[in-house]
Amino acid sequence: MLQAIVLDFDGVVVNSEPLHLRAFQEVLAVEGQALSAREYYDVYVGLDDVGMFNAFAEHRGLPGDAAWVRQMVTSKAARMQGLLAEGSPLFAGAADRIRELAAAVPIAIASGALRQEILHVLEAAGLTSAFSVIVAAGETPRGKPASDPYARAVELLGRQTARAMNPKHVVAVEDTVQGLVSAREAGLRTVAVTTTYPVEALADADAVVPSLREVTIELLERVVERRCGRPSTSRVQGIQGGDRWGRK
């Protein structure tokens, strides 16, 4: 039943949201603009860089034309590369879990991070070969919360495996509300990790667990079976997650 897995990157594979916040703050400070951590996590987390700067300009009443957005994205990307070079921000247990998942079914990344940022981390961790497909920022007409990144990942997985992929048999692992919307709009099943948002904010996911370390093949299979109407357990329980289970 489970055909493939699509992982978000920031907040799922890597603990990079604090680094993104710092990079955004530093490049915006040059423009005389302040960005608090609360504002970032409440409003902008889950958006790609273009979406974030466009939204920020609109909210602050800044001109924010295309040239300004491109300049800001370039500056932020350079700062982010410097921060990533200071050390690997992989979550504990993420590398081992990714290898286990990849040994069972094809896995992909659908992320608002830039491709060079993703590859930098994966190469340093020896994980590049684990992923059949990567869909990064700017590689689809629209970013999250639109469905494009996840729809593209499923399409490419089908091509890569020469197998007809049914989105209902593919599970997305996300850490943000925006990402869950994107995955659901593309027809995927969803598992949320509580690394960025509290469990209450992620209640629309099919299952909620603390981190990628608890995302097992068994859990993902139960999510797919349950949502497809196959006999399964009465509820999808998060492993080691206490009383966190999927919604009908």
Identify whether residues 100 and 213 lie together within a single domain: yes
- Whether residue 239 lies inside any domain: the answer is no
Taking the C-alpha atoms of residue 125 and residue 112, their distance in angstroms, rounded to an integer, is 20
Taking the C-alpha atoms of residue 73 and residue 71, their distance in angstroms, rounded to an integer, is 6
Identify whether residues 150 and 222 lie together within a single domain: yes
pLDDT at residue 82 is higher than 60: yes
pLDDT-based confidence at 90, cuts 50/70/90? very high
Read off the pLDDT of each residue in 8-32 and give the average, rounded to a whole number: 93
In the predicted model, what is the mean pLDDT of the chain? 89
Identify whether residues 102 and 215 lie together within a single domain: yes
Taking the C-alpha atoms of residue 55 and residue 71, their distance in angstroms, rounded to an integer, is 15
- φ/ψ region of 35 (left if φ > 0, alpha if ψ in -120 to 50, else beta) reads beta
- Whether residue 240 lies inside any domain: the answer is no
**Cβ-proximal residues to 244 (8 Å cutoff; 6+ apart), any chain:** 194, 199, 207, 208, 209, 210, 237, 238
Give the DSSP H or E segment for 22: helix 17-30
Identify whether residues 221 and 210 lie together within a single domain: yes
Closest listed residue to residue 206, CA positions, set 182, 188, 232, 185 = 188
What is residue 228's predicted lDDT score, i.e. its pLDDT? 67
Identify whether residues 196 and 120 lie together within a single domain: yes
Identify whether residues 105 and 8 lie together within a single domain: yes
pTM over 0.85: no
Instruction: Tell me which residue range forms the domain holding 70.
Output: 17-84
- Give the CATH number, domain containing residue 29: 1.10.150
- 211, 231 contact by CB (below 8 A): no
Identify whether residues 32 and 93 lie together within a single domain: no
Identify whether residues 77 and 183 lie together within a single domain: no
pLDDT-based confidence at 229, cuts 50/70/90? low
- Whether residue 247 lies inside any domain: the answer is no
- Give the CATH number, domain containing residue 163: 3.40.50.1000
- Whether residue 128 lies inside any domain: the answer is yes
Within a 10 A sphere around the Cβ of 31, how many other Cβ atoms? 15
Identify whether residues 11 and 21 lie together within a single domain: no
Token pair in block for residue 13: 């594979």
